[in-house]
Copies of this chain bind each other. A is one copy, B any other.
């Protein structure tokens, strides 16, 4: 081959293995042997294992955040000054994810699992990297959410966003779901689109749940969701 595709082969193998097994549990030797590449290539091309992890995320996230910005632009233009609704905002996000050009049929689900792992595993360096690199589309999404749920207090909204993120990342990242998706590659049963179509109404309903509830045991009134 005239041009080296070593870098891409490493990224492909790493993405898949990280999604299957987590970061710490995946060794460079697994990655390089799956990629059919010399062990030293990772440190040569990326510098370190952590930098490779960053590169895996960057390869997906950089085009995705551009797509997302466009989707938000279009949404805001369509709404002509009025703030977009919660459903519109959530759909803009999921559609951007689903429409991303993918290397294989289940690119988003693999990447969703990676995002879930990034949040869950104590990879401090990864969190810092993601916050530094992609703070802009993230805070823009947060702003849209705020305008779409003006009835919520800041602290309620904070927690409900946590819940949404959890339901999404966890579902997409659970091995069961992933393997369901992989099993039915041909799209007959559970595509990522279909999961998203089930998830968005769930999230929207939860986000707009009624306020205040009695905790049964203590009969204390608590500001709730």
Identify the A interface with B (CB < 8 A): 20-22, 24-25, 88, 91, 95, 99, 116-117, 119-122, 156, 159-160, 162-171, 173-177, 193-195, 197-210, 213, 215-217, 222-225
- Name 25 interchain pairs, CB-CB below 8 A, sorted by A: A22-B121, A22-B122, A25-B122, A88-B216, A91-B216, A116-B170, A117-B120, A120-B173, A120-B174, A122-B175, A156-B198, A160-B202, A162-B176, A166-B170, A166-B171, A197-B224, A198-B225, A199-B225, A200-B224, A201-B210, A202-B207, A202-B225, A203-B206, A205-B206, A206-B209
Q: Are A116 and B120 in contact (CB under 8 A)?
A: yes
Which among B91, B206, B217 is the interface contact of A206 at CB below 8 angstroms? Answer: B206
B205 near A170 with CB under 8 A, answer no
A122 to B91, CA, bound (A): 30
Expressed in whole angstroms, the minimum distance between the Cβ of A116 and any Cβ of chain B is 7
Most buried by B among A119, A165, A173, A198: A198
Nearest B residue to A197 via CB reads: B222
B205–A210 touching, CB < 8 Å = yes
Contacts of A174 in B (CB 8 A): 119-120, 162, 166
Question: Complex Cα distance A205/B117, Å?
Answer: 27
Q: Is the CB of A213 within 8 A of B201?
A: yes
CA A165 – CA B116 in complex, angstroms?
A: 14
Q: Looking across the interface, which residue of chain B has its beta carbon closest to that of A91? A: B216
- Starting from the known contacts A119-B170, A163-B171, A197-B213, 13 additional A-B residue pairs (CB-CB under 8 Å) come to A20-B122, A24-B24, A25-B121, A25-B122, A99-B217, A162-B167, A166-B170, A166-B171, A166-B174, A193-B215, A201-B210, A201-B225, A205-B225
- Bound-state CA distance A117–B122 (Å) is 11
Closest chain B residue, CB of each to CB of A120? B120
Beta-carbon contact of B120 and A199 below 8 Å: no
Q: Which of B116, B121, B194, B224 has a CB less than 8 Å from the CB of A201?
A: B224
With a cutoff of 8 Å between Cβ atoms, the chain B residues found around residue A166 in the complex are 166-171, 174
